[in-house]
Amino acid sequence: MKIALINENSQAAKNPVIEKALRKVAEPMGHEVFNYGMYSADDNEQLTYVQNGILAAVLLNSKAADYVITGCGTGEGAMLALNSFPGVICGHVEDALDAYTFAQINDGNAISLPFAKGFGWGGDLNLEYIFEKLWCEESGGGYPKERAVPEKANKKILDEVKEKTYQDMAVILRNLNESHHDLVKGALSTAGFRKYFFDNCQCDRIREAVNEILNG
């Protein structure tokens, strides 16, 4: 599984701490970690949590990433931004229990973490425990196990609803670019995105839309 880490500007200074915890847990499980930044608070390329939503949606819909780890001060804004797009089911996760139940019940592909609220002494350990419980079992198994059948049915219904209520991601990118060019181009112009996206992208339509925006 390809896991993308994305940080917005208010919590960018914590990127090395988050990456270290993520790699410590994910890589022994056989997963690949791609750090898309921001890498520090002083990065020339600044990302807002809204731009994190754009990035996450591009990565997940193009299959350049299978899972996204992101967040903001409280985790709420980033969660809302990611869930604004098709192909993304993002949970707000504060602890290991949240991580486990979100993975087993909701079977999502992204989490948003609070990197300021409650992130004090032992914050790095809490991240490790979250990542461990997020991927300790195959996602979507249900919890409690006797609820597995209706939970899987509800997840299938949610996926079908999102297919009907959201546009194609390539169309969304072009439409957003017309009204918010600086926002979209800024999200797609970071060094981390250019470094990893094109090698991992598996959707030609999204690749074409991204190239149009970057070269426009």
Q: What is the pLDDT of residue 119?
A: 92
Domain around 167: 2-215
CB 65 within 8 A of CB 3: yes
Three-state secondary-structure class, residue 62: coil
Distances (CA, A) of 124 to 19, 58, 141, 180: 10, 28, 27, 36
Q: Total structural domains in the chain?
A: 1
Q: What is the pLDDT of residue 3?
A: 98
pTM for this entry: 0.95
CB 152 within 8 A of CB 142: yes
Q: What is the pLDDT of residue 216?
A: 84
Q: Any idea what the CATH number is for the domain that residue 15 is in?
A: 3.40.1400.10
Q: What is the pLDDT of residue 192?
A: 95
Mean pLDDT of 15-40: 97
Instruction: Encode pLDDT of 101-141 as tens digits.
Output: 999 999 999 999 999 999 999 999 999 999 999 999 999 99
Instruction: Encode pLDDT of 146-177 as tens digits.
Output: 998 999 999 999 999 988 999 999 999 999 99
CB 43 within 8 A of CB 37: yes
* DSSP β-bridge partners for residue 110: 68, 90
Helix, strand and coil content of the chain, in percent to the nearest 5, comes to: 60, 10, 30
**207 pLDDT above the threshold of 90:** yes
Give the number of other Cβ atoms within 10 Å of residue 191's Cβ: 14
Mean pLDDT of 198-204: 98
